[in-house]
Chains A and B, each alone.
Chain A
Amino acid sequence: MALTKAELTDLLFENIGLNKREAKEIVECFYEEMRTALQNGDGVKLSGFGNFQLRTKPQRPGRNPKTGEEIPISARRVVTFHASQKLKSMVEANYRGESNIN
């Protein structure tokens, strides 16, 4: 079981006075806004959760693992996520059985 947009939509429907269609649209928009910011080269900082940053990587040599043939991996820009201290602590505490998450 994984958390998906469908569960998030249900949560908004249950907790805020929105109909299902609106709740679904808002969940879409939430992720779309973050993606747009990142696409424009702007990092996203969500206090208490974590930060999304952009990294540009230079071209580097790679290999086709099947044939062993050398092929360059082109320069690219990628997104990285750094979990906040709060999120890391939540995950660790729960793993050690120190917290009760309902």
Chain B
Amino acid sequence: MTKSELISRLAERFPQLLAKDAELVVKIILDAMAKSLARGERIEIRGFGSFDLNYRPSRVGRNPKSGEKVHVPEKYVPHFKAGKKMRELIDSSHKQHGLFDQATG
């Protein structure tokens, strides 16, 4: 599913929402999430999961083309952890599928 498909799904489910507003909804939510992480603030969405920042210490890397050593500064990278409900739903729908696949050979 892409961003535009997500926008269409929301527009379908909320007929009172103008098409351009469905687009705006997605933009506002994603912008707020990105800004929150950029500020170093975590995100907690019940039933979905949480986004945090993980620390990466500085290291000496290599330019894969030239083999030259380069200093990579310390940084933070975004990290997602699925919530309990998400984990359970993802795994159980897969298991049902797996049994079905086996049954049909």
Q: How far is the CB of A49 from chain B (nearest CB, A)?
A: 5
State whether A1 and B41 are in contact (beta carbons under 8 Å apart), knowing that A77-B90, A88-B78 are contacts in the complex: yes
Determine the residue in chain B with the shortest Cβ distance to A90: B38
Determine the residue in chain A with the shortest Cβ distance to B36: A3
Set of chain B residues within 8 Å of A48, measured between Cβ atoms: 30, 34
Contact assessment for B13 and A2 in the assembled complex, using a CB-CB cutoff below 8 Å: no
Bound Cα distance from A90 to B31, whole angstroms: 11
Indicate if B102 sits at the interface (CB-CB under 8 A).
no
Within 8 A of B (CB), among A33-59: 33-35, 37-50, 52, 54, 56
Indicate if A63 sits at the interface (CB-CB under 8 A).
no
Bound Cα distance from A30 to B39, whole angstroms: 23
Pick the most buried of B9, B41, B53: most chain A CB atoms within 10 A of its CB: B9
Determine the residue in chain A with the shortest Cβ distance to B13: A29
Set of chain A residues within 8 Å of B49, measured between Cβ atoms: 79
Name the one of A4, A34, A49, A86 contacting B44, with C-beta atoms under 8 angstroms.
A4
Determine the residue in chain B with the shortest Cβ distance to A49: B30
Indicate if B87 sits at the interface (CB-CB under 8 A).
yes
Set of chain B residues within 8 Å of A47, measured between Cβ atoms: 2-3
- Report, nearest first, the 3 A-B pairs whose CB atoms are least far apart: A81-B80, A77-B94, A3-B36
Beyond A48-B30, A87-B78, A93-B38, list 16 extra A-B contacts (CB 8 Å): A4-B45, A7-B32, A16-B24, A16-B28, A26-B10, A26-B14, A30-B26, A35-B47, A35-B48, A39-B90, A77-B90, A79-B90, A86-B34, A91-B76, A94-B40, A101-B35
